[in-house]
Chain A
Amino acid sequence: MGSIALENVTKSFGNHSVIPPINLKIEDGQFVVFVGPSGCGKSTLLRLIAGLEDTSSGIIKIDGADMTDTIPAKRQLSMVFQSYALYPHMSVYNNIAFPLKMANVDKATIDQKVKAAARTLNLTDYLERRPRMLSGGQRQRVAIGRAIVRQPKAFLFDEPLSNLDAALRVNMRLEISELHQQLKTTMIYVTHDQVEAMTMADKIVVLNAGNIEQYGTPMELYRTPANRFVAGFIGSPKMNFVDGAEAAKFNAFSIGVRPEHMTIAKASGTWKGTIGVAEHLGSDTFFYVHCDGLGPVTVRTEGNEDFKPGDTVWLTPDPAHIYRFDKTGVAIH
């Protein structure tokens, strides 16, 4: 069991408001990702749930019980930090055993559980080592081991992969997803990386300046973004936005077209432009096109499209996938 509810939660540091009143319900067993640009308040929100930061007002409920004023140690949540935050003076074994020791679990049970966690995370050979003798990925695994060794109501991840290199990040991403399927415990995961959010989440909370811009499944966010911010943040490469006269043709203040919803042709199309840069990824190719009167537009095509920088091309947006926004940036459906 591990449902979490925030009711009118606010946080301000002095006169500076970081989190305006926020309402959010996270259901038991869900993998929820908080995503947003840096400084959007996503880590603060996580720390409020953890109890590492006091709320300025509002109520935080875990499994229906008011935990707003409960100390972190009593909230029964596990947290994985960006810096790993391992205990440098303890062996890997003792690091993982620590939460159980704090819960006064007997030695035999501790031993059994630590070894089980180590097996899950491929750490069995490193149990006697100190954290400084491990690589970044191994350290992150120890931090995860320390979190999964007891049965918390929820796991909190604070940008756990941002200190790892790209290849390792993809691996760990999969491992964490698998772990979630195995344990079926509520997980809250904070990241600024929308790819992590899209690939891992059951539901995504998009945050901007402390506000929840949208809360939904990855595909909902991708298909029906609530506003221009979400539309621009979710999806890679970013959605193209066009304002002014072109947008007015669609009865909107601005329109958005995703790079994958655009076709590129030599002879004819809607918008004329010149290719600036072509990025060949093998499976896909991204063209960065300078369109007359529109500015830079990104197009995603199959890998074998053969255009070169400097070529004049015509772009055509797929009419079924044009997103329309009003003056305030809210989506028009």
Chain B
Amino acid sequence: MARTVSTQTKWGWTIAAWVVALIIFFPILWTILTAFKTEGDAILFPPAFLPPHWTLENFFEVQARSDYFHHFFNSVVIAVGSTLLALIVAVPAAWSMAFSPTKRTRDILMWMLSTKMMPAVGVLVPIYLIFKNLSLLDNLAGLTVILMLINLPIVIWMLYTYFKEIPVDILEACRMDGATLWREIVYVLLPMAVPGIASTMLLNIILAWNEAFWTLNLTAANAAPLTAFIASYSSPEGLFWAKLSAASTLAIAPILLLGWFSQKQLVRGLTFGAVK
């Protein structure tokens, strides 16, 4: 007998899903709402859900105090730059591992993944010293390279699974049809791999945008991205909730919008290969 899901169960799950989603989203919502409150309203107790006095003052003040656009620019350079750099290295790497694997391919993949299991702080001192000696501290190029390196294993893994899904038969058919390697790549491989490359790119941009360990430790002012911008609002003199919230809102807004518009691609990217 086929199992039918009763309407009641369906409603139950829908409500449960909404509750979980709201719980997860609530901190973000609260941050956004607080950004529109005055400092006084922000620390009211009991707290007011909606701002009693809507204000944009926090945003102006944040921009005036710490130059949002300077940090925004740095974030974009680091996120996009490290992603492109990672793709340049990862596409050929994943390609060769997917289409001409050797006995060691699996080991290499596992080894690359294992580097992600090491706590970053474990290599902070050597990397800091290397950066210092190469004059790369507080430098956009240095930061771009380090973020590319830390995300490279994930990028290679994602691309590898994507390329694995391209049937070898089709590439062989292409060879039989008289295509040279270059034409095989341009006419058949790339068009078939574009969705995979796109979602890998998106995910990597988000990861690089949110990365806070290296960006905080290797920058001071010049190369500081939005993560450093938010961090600068938590200071020993005390917290300014409304301004901190305004800064956070500004910092997460671009990536939230990017995620929103590309959610279909992202979900596909994250679950790719999991479901046949």
> SS class of chain B's interface: helix, strand, loop or mixed?
helix
**Which of A82, A85, A89, A99 has most B Cβ within 10 Å?**
A85
Is B132 positioned at the interface, with any CB of A under 8 Å from its CB? no
**Interface contact A102-B192, CB-CB below 8 Å:** no
Residue of A nearest to B183 (CB): A102
Number of A-B contacts defined by CB within 8 Å: 60
**Interface contact A102-B177, CB-CB below 8 Å:** yes
Is B173 positioned at the interface, with any CB of A under 8 Å from its CB? yes
**Interface contact B169-A81, CB-CB below 8 Å:** yes
Q: What does the 1/0 interface line of A137-164 toward B look like (CB < 8 Å)?
A: 0000000001000100000100000000
Number of residues from B at the complex interface, CB < 8 A: 17
Contact of A87 among B175, B176, B188 (CB under 8 A): B188
**Interface contact A85-B188, CB-CB below 8 Å:** no
Residue of A nearest to B173 (CB): A85
Q: What does the 1/0 interface line of B168-180 toward A look like (CB < 8 Å)?
A: 0110111111111
Minimal beta-carbon separation of A298 from chain B (angstroms) = 38
**Interface contact A98-B176, CB-CB below 8 Å:** no
Is B191 positioned at the interface, with any CB of A under 8 Å from its CB? yes
Is A79 positioned at the interface, with any CB of B under 8 Å from its CB? yes
Is A313 positioned at the interface, with any CB of B under 8 Å from its CB? no
Is A65 positioned at the interface, with any CB of B under 8 Å from its CB? no
Residue of A nearest to B176 (CB): A79
- Please name all residues of chain A whose beta carbon is closer than 8 Å to the beta carbon of B188 when the two chains form the complex: 87
**Interface contact A73-B192, CB-CB below 8 Å:** no
Question: Knowing A83-B167, A85-B170 touch, does A98 contact B192 (C-beta < 8 A)?
Answer: no
**Interface contact A85-B192, CB-CB below 8 Å:** no
7 extra interchain contacts, Cβ-Cβ under 8 A, other than A78-B176, A81-B173? Answer: A73-B176, A73-B179, A87-B174, A98-B179, A102-B177, A102-B183, A103-B178
Chain A contacts to B: CB under 8 angstroms: 50-52, 71-74, 77-79, 81-83, 85-89, 98-99, 102-103, 146, 150, 156
- Closest 4 interchain pairs by CB? A85-B173, A85-B169, A102-B178, A99-B177
